């Protein structure tokens, strides 16, 4: 994230002299108030330029008029709000991203006065959040900076009806933006740099915000009996870790809510090794854990009034003389045994132990896990929806709703005895792979055996968290998926 990019709110009035952003409907007219401020010549100029540029004021479209003679600014950025239907469901963050991508001046003013749409303080804050997220880039490892692409610095001021209210609403979003940035950075970081130990250290950095952090190393996990997790990590020269983060913003008597993340820092597949093509993407197999760290950052920095546990299993899945084999049987922390059929189905082994540990120790109100768990979820849902699996309808509905509200959408997928049957093992209590059919559901069915009937939801984010589709708030490889969704869930249902 460009540290030098500043966001700010001001009362309607000042236009500035840099970039000026105004909104028009399909009639190409701004609101009367904006028209009055920029003057009739500028309104005419917009209509004329629109005709020349074939700009129709459609939603998600914009036109830039450079050095406009009619108004004393460097560039006039005209953004369309579209027709009635578009105006009924604006994605404010995406709109902010669009604006942020269009301005290139040192100082820009966006007049958040939209024809036919009320802009609440919350909406304005979401616009600002989207503007901030758009500026993310990950270029620490580029020794030559591309100046042309460096749309980083500058200041973007939103002129709104009630700047104090918008500022207040944005204050909470700043922590969310920072949390998303942390999650994106973790996912983008190369696997040689970010091993389990280094990842755990990044989780530990949350202590600065008042989060309590505990780290379990190999020895501690051996003592506990987390043999499923340790089995995955045993082929790596780098030790495994579990990081437990606790934010106690609620009443002492409140049961916590819990988030669990898959943190495979690199997934080679192990002895069941993956094909070379695209294997580099498996540095992102810790996106679930990255989301949990980003979420804890967001919640702590906005001092969420809730008791929250975040727990992440950090391992590297490598082939080696000491690596786990197909045919091995491991005893999990819960006491249940798992036959390893495919060492590439490792995420569920990691989660099995962490989920059991969290429900046993913290007795949470619910657990939600996030994991880049299966390629099959990409086959089913492509990259726009995460797979949602749950043993609790209320929790599933709340997550679904938060998904629609934040644009991080989920689609519920089935669990049930049919899938359980597919993971029956000849030799152990279950096997770690049910084969190709229903691959995401059999993986989830295994996880369900480790939640001990606690309300639980599993989000399979293999499609949404990395190599993600580009949009106005995400131009990078990692999206930071889930931070906004879960922050919203907590905000709307679990704070006081
Ligand atoms: N990390 C992968 C899943 C994945 C695939 C994430 C593509 C992101 C993009 C997971 O550990 C895995 O390898 N799953 C196997 C399971 C199979 C062996 C039962 C898969 O999906 O093929
Ligand atoms: Mn795998
Ligand atoms: Zn994996």
pLDDT tens sequence across 98-152: 999 999 878 999 999 999 999 999 999 999 999 999 999 999 999 987 765 556 6
The catalytically annotated residue of 29, 274, 305, 365 is 274
Residue 37 has pLDDT above 60, yes or no: yes
Any atom of ligand 1 within 6 Å of the Cβ of 285: yes
User: Contact at 8 Å (CB) between 458 and 388?
Assistant: yes
C-alpha to C-alpha distance for 74 and 489, rounded to whole angstroms: 42
CA of 452 to the centre of ligand 3 (A): 23
Q: Residues 16, 41, 69, 66: is their CA dihedral positive or negative?
A: positive
**pLDDT attached to residue 104:** 82
Any atom of ligand 1 within 6 Å of the Cβ of 433: yes
Any atom of ligand 1 within 6 Å of the Cβ of 180: no
**pLDDT attached to residue 106:** 82
- pTM (global) more than 0.95: yes
pLDDT tens sequence across 264-280: 999 999 999 999 999 99
The pick from 375, 465, 477 for probing ligand 1's pocket by mutation, whose C-beta has the most ligand atoms within 8 angstroms, reads: 375
**Beta strand 337-339 pairing with 430-431:** parallel
Any atom of ligand 1 within 6 Å of the Cβ of 343: no
Tell me what the mean pLDDT of segment 64-70 comes to: 92
> Ligand 1 atom 8: the closest Cα is on which residue?
462
pLDDT tens sequence across 177-192: 999 999 999 999 999 9
Structural element, H or E, at residue 63? strand 62-66
Ligand 1 atom closest to the Cα of residue 264 is 1
pLDDT tens sequence across 448-495: 999 999 999 999 999 999 998 899 999 999 999 999 999 999 999 999
The pick from 289, 339, 344 for probing ligand 1's pocket by mutation, whose C-beta has the most ligand atoms within 8 angstroms, reads: 344
Question: What is the SS3 assignment for 458?
Answer: strand
DSSP state of 140: T
C-alpha to C-alpha distance for 443 and 462, rounded to whole angstroms: 13
Q: Is 262 annotated as a binding residue?
A: yes
Tell me what the mean pLDDT of segment 309-328 comes to: 99
Question: Closest-lying ligand to the alpha carbon of 374?
Answer: 1
**pLDDT attached to residue 350:** 99
CA of 355 to the centre of ligand 3 (A): 17
> Residue 139: CB partners within 8 Å, gap ≥ 6?
145
> Ligand 1 atom 13: the closest Cα is on which residue?
344
Residue 309 has pLDDT above 90, yes or no: yes
In angstroms, what CA-CA distances link 377 with 37, 65, 413, 447? 51, 44, 10, 15
Ligand 1 atom closest to the Cα of residue 439 is 19
pLDDT tens sequence across 200-239: 999 999 999 999 999 999 999 999 999 999 999 999 999 9
Residue 242 pairs in a beta bridge with 216, 313
The rounded percent of the chain whose pLDDT value lies above 90 is 94
**Catalytic site residue 283?**
no
Instruction: Average the pLDDT over each of 29-33, 100-104, 320-324 and give the range with the smallest value.
Output: 100-104
Q: Identify the band that residue 4 occupies on the pLDDT scale cut at 50, 70 and 90.
A: confident
Instruction: Average the pLDDT over each of 4-8, 356-360, 460-464 and give the range with the smallest value.
Output: 4-8
pLDDT tens sequence across 439-449: 999 999 999 99
Residue 2 has pLDDT above 80, yes or no: no
CA of 376 to the centre of ligand 2 (A): 12
């Amino acid at each position: 994230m460009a540290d030098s990019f500043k966001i700010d709110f001001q009362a309607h009035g000042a236009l500035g002299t840099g970039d000026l952003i105004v909104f028009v409907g399909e009639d190409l007219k701004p609101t009367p108030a904006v028209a009055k401020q920029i003057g009739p010549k500028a309104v005419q100029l917009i209509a004329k330029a629109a005709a020349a540029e074939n700009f129709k004021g459609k939603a998600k479209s914009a036109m830039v008029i450079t050095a406009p003679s009619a108004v004393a600014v460097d560039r006039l950025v005209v953004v369309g709000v579209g027709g009635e239907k578009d105006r009924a469901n604006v994605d404010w963050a995406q709109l902010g991203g669009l604006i942020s991508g269009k301005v290139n001046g040192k100082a820009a003013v966006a007049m958040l006065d939209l024809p036919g749409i009320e802009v609440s303080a919350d909406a304005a804050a979401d616009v600002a959040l989207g503007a901030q997220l758009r500026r993310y880039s990950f270029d620490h490892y580029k020794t030559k900076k591309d100046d042309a692409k460096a749309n980083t610095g500058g200041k973007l001021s939103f002129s709104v009806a009630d700047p104090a209210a918008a500022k207040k609403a944005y204050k909470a979003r700043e922590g969310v933006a920072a949390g998303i940035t942390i999650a994106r950075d973790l996912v983008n970081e190369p696997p040689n740099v970010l091993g389990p130990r280094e990842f755990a250290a990044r989780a530990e950095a949350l202590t600065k915000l008042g989060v309590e952090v505990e780290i379990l190393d190999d020895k501690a996990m051996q003592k506990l009996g987390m043999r499923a997790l340790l089995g995955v990590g045993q082929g790596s020269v780098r030790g495994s870790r579990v990081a437990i983060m606790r934010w106690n913003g609620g009443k002492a008597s409140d049961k916590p809510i819990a988030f669990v993340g898959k943190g495979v820092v690199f997934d080679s597949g192990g002895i069941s090794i993956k094909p070379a093509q695209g294997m580099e993407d498996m540095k992102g197999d810790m996106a679930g854990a990255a989301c949990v760290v980003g979420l804890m950052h967001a919640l702590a920095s906005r001092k969420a009034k809730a008791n929250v546990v975040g727990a992440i299993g950090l391992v590297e899945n490598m082939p080696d003389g000491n690596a786990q084999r197909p045919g091995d049987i491991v005893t999990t922390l819960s006491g249940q045994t798992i036959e390893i059929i495919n060492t590439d189905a490792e995420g569920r082994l990691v989660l099995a132990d962490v989920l059991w540990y969290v429900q046993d120790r913290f007795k949470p109100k619910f657990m939600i896990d996030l994991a880049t768990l299966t390629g099959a979820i990409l086959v089913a849902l492509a990259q726009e929806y995460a797979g949602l699996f749950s043993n609790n309808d209320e929790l599933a509905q709340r997550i679904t709703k938060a998904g629609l509200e934040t644009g991080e959408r989920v689609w519920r997928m089935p669990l049930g005895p049919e899938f359980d049957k597919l993971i029956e093992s000849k030799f152990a209590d279950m096997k770690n792979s049910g084969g190709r059919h229903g691959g995401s559901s059999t993986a989830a069915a295994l996880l369900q055996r480790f939640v001990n009937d606690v309300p639980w939801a599993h989000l399979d984010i293999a499609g949404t968290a990395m190599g993600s589709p580009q949009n106005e708030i995400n131009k990078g490889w990692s999206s930071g998926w889930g931070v906004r969704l879960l922050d919203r869930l907590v905000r709307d249902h679990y704070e006081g």
